Amino acid sequence: MRLPFTFLSLALLSAPAALARYGGGASAYSGLNQAIQRQHEHLDRVKDAYMTASTAHHSHSKRQEGNSSLPFANPAAEPFYVDGTTIPEVNFDAGASWAGLLPISGDPEETKELFFWLWPASNPENADKLLFWTNGGPGCSSMEGFLQENGPFIWNWGQSEPVANPYSWTEFANVVWVEQPVGTGFTQGTPNITNDDELAEQLTGFLGQFIEVFDELQGAEFYLSGESYAGYYVPYIANYIYEHPGLNLNLQGIWIADPSLSYGAVQQDIPALRFVQAHSNVFPFNSSFLESLQNISDACGYTTYLDDYVHYPPDGLLPLVGVQEGSTGTAPECRIFDQITEEIYWLNPVFNIYRVTDTFPNLWSVLGFPRDTQQFIYFNRTDVQDAIHAPHQIWEDCLGPVYVGEDGDQSLPSMLSIMPNVIEKSARTVVVHGLADMILIAEGTRIAIQNMTWAGAQGFQTPIEPESFLVQDDIMGAQGVYGNMHQERNLTYVEFYMSGHMTPQFVPWAAYQTIAYLTGARESPSA
């Protein structure tokens, strides 16, 4: 049987070669032999998991054969139907799904349309739940999340072909990946928004149109999720839905990963040098450069910031340091993050700010982002566009601008504005952050949480205990301590070891467990 992951077969083939080269068998190399043995055992375990998942996936799609059991039966849904055997490069039946463009309002003259791809819940118990996903940017396509993070099939960096994803979020709900706002991906029309209330109004209008077509979803338990700049989008959409009742979906909570939710000073500059020190093996700066960084850190108030202000509970509002007088932007002489990220590329030309532990070689991506493509950009192919009812147009992972005007998004960061209201109105609010992400640094999210007042108090009242997040994964067997976690007053915060920015891509087992928690499939995010 063909292995679904080419890299696995390569790894298995290379082990005997390594044995031969080192003269396997000599007692001096027994440590090496044992290591190779362990590697074989783990690869077999992983291979079995993916094969099993792939088979299970087929049986799920069987359930939908014949149209009497199609979950979305409204004739208006028919033009959006995607046959899972016709998706280019996907060499198995991925099951039924629905994709295409829908307008942001019922106005027959409406010119603005968003692109979506809807997949039914693979577990029939969750057919009454709807989970929305958006990537960030602003202007980045949710098809990235679909194809490389949490969709039913995955075509990851360096992988030779797409494979069924045993960690697909469709286990927990019907999932809709939406390209939004207008100006992103396949969306149609001219952007006209200047802030995220307007973004939320348009997205909510789209959702109204969407549940008219997929009317089995009317009244569904609803969850919003997203990553990165969706730290603005998702809380603002949730806030809008809570404040403007009318959409017939029952919003229960949100999940945001490595979110943009405070000032750049907070999420990049204040924690930057501590991040470099914590990952000194991948930031091999010389001593004079490190000394100049230390000088900036001392002069700008970064060095003792955590000790001085990030207390549980906090002593009062946290000061914004390193900024220009009368502004919230980092002062030029305090832009330590820019200096670090400029210098590191001289030492490591393939430095990956989205996951700092990556090294040479630089893996290709079929989406051409954040790495180059080898052959084609998947969603830019007309055969792919035809299969999913997308318009024939040039598709790039990140486009834009999506806000009109010189100054971009005019909204305040979510944790400095509407997030408290969202937490108070939601059953569950989950914020996760990968500890190997540098584009947005986890310690900055901690600062933002400690400066936020919700449900009657400011910040967490007791500290985030180290090693408090555990994974127990039945699919590939990942298990044990996997990060740090804290829950208070309906806010859950989880930090994942080893993960870069795109947490469902890098630690799918950990992200999956937190989505199980969000949607009520488990009582705690931690095992």
Ligand X SMILES: *[C@@H]1O[C@H](CO)[C@@H](O)[C@H](O)[C@H]1NC(C)=O
259 vs 504, beta carbon nearer ligand X: 259
Tell me the pairing of strands 428-434 and 250-257.
parallel
**Least distance (Å) from ligand X to the CB of residue 68?**
9
- 262 is a contact residue toward ligand X (CB under 6 A): yes
> What are the C-alpha distances in Å from 270 to residues 114, 173, 192, 255?
37, 38, 34, 25
443 membership: H or E segment, kind and range: helix 442-450
Total chain residues near ligand X (CB under 6 A): 36
45 vs 244, beta carbon nearer ligand X: 244
- Interface mask toward ligand X for 286-305; x: CB under 6 A: x-xx-xx--x----------
- 361 is a contact residue toward ligand X (CB under 6 A): no
Q: Is the dihedral of CA 315, 320, 322, 324 positive or negative?
A: negative
CB hemisphere CA count around 480 (13 angstroms): 2
Contact residue for ligand X among 134, 148, 204, 451 (CB under 6 A):
451
Stretch that binds ligand X, among 29-37, 51-59, 261-269, 466-474 (CB under 6 A): 261-269
The residues near 124 (Cβ < 8 Å, ≥ 6 apart) are 63
**Least distance (Å) from ligand X to the CB of residue 194?**
7
- 192 is a contact residue toward ligand X (CB under 6 A): yes
Contact residue for ligand X among 43, 207, 266, 510 (CB under 6 A):
266
Contact 393, 218 (CB under 8 A): no
Stretch that binds ligand X, among 29-37, 153-161, 258-266, 436-444 (CB under 6 A): 258-266
- Token look-up 């087929």 returns 58
- 242 is a contact residue toward ligand X (CB under 6 A): no
233: closest CA among 149, 137, 162, 145?
Answer: 137
Stretch that binds ligand X, among 233-241, 374-382, 503-511, 516-524 (CB under 6 A): 374-382
134 membership: H or E segment, kind and range: strand 129-134
Residue type, 413: P
167 vs 255, beta carbon nearer ligand X: 255
CA dist 487 and 461 (Å) reads: 10
Alpha-carbon 177 to chain mean position: 12
- 457 is a contact residue toward ligand X (CB under 6 A): no
Contact residue for ligand X among 7, 22, 29, 81 (CB under 6 A):
81
- 269 is a contact residue toward ligand X (CB under 6 A): no
**Least distance (Å) from ligand X to the CB of residue 260?**
13
Q: Which long-range contacts (CB under 8 A, 24 or more apart) does 289-295 make?
A: 289/343, 293/336, 293/339, 293/340
- 78 is a contact residue toward ligand X (CB under 6 A): yes
Phi, psi for 115 (deg, rounded to 5):
-100, 135
Alpha-carbon dihedral 278, 282, 287, 290, rounded to 10 degrees:
-50
Q: Which residues pair with 114 in a beta bridge?
A: 102
CA dist 479 and 509 (Å) reads: 9
Stretch that binds ligand X, among 86-94, 262-270, 462-470, 476-484 (CB under 6 A): 262-270
Window 312 to 341, contacts with ligand X (CB under 6 A): 317-318, 320
CA dist 152 and 435 (Å) reads: 26
The residues near 234 (Cβ < 8 Å, ≥ 6 apart) are 134, 224, 225, 226, 254, 255, 256, 259
CA dist 141 and 186 (Å) reads: 8
- 272 is a contact residue toward ligand X (CB under 6 A): no
- 18 is a contact residue toward ligand X (CB under 6 A): no
CA dist 188 and 202 (Å) reads: 13
Window 118 to 177, contacts with ligand X (CB under 6 A): none
Window 466 to 495, contacts with ligand X (CB under 6 A): 489-490
Stretch that binds ligand X, among 109-117, 118-126, 169-177, 497-505 (CB under 6 A): 109-117
**Least distance (Å) from ligand X to the CB of residue 493?**
15
**Least distance (Å) from ligand X to the CB of residue 305?**
9
Report helix, strand or coil for 370: coil
**Least distance (Å) from ligand X to the CB of residue 459?**
10
**Least distance (Å) from ligand X to the CB of residue 89?**
15
Stretch that binds ligand X, among 23-31, 37-45, 169-177, 281-289 (CB under 6 A): 281-289
Contact residue for ligand X among 127, 377, 387, 498 (CB under 6 A):
377
Which parts of 214-267 are beta strand (E)?
221-227, 250-257
CA dist 490 and 470 (Å) reads: 19
- 343 is a contact residue toward ligand X (CB under 6 A): yes
Contact residue for ligand X among 52, 67, 324, 327 (CB under 6 A):
67
Q: Which residues are catalytic?
A: 228, 437, 501
- 416 is a contact residue toward ligand X (CB under 6 A): yes
Token pair recorded at residue 236? 């603002």
- Given the rule CB under 6 A, which residues bind ligand X? 66-67, 78, 81, 110-112, 192-193, 198, 262-263, 266, 286, 288-289, 291-292, 295, 317-318, 320, 343, 346, 376-377, 380, 382, 394, 416, 427, 447, 451, 455, 489-490
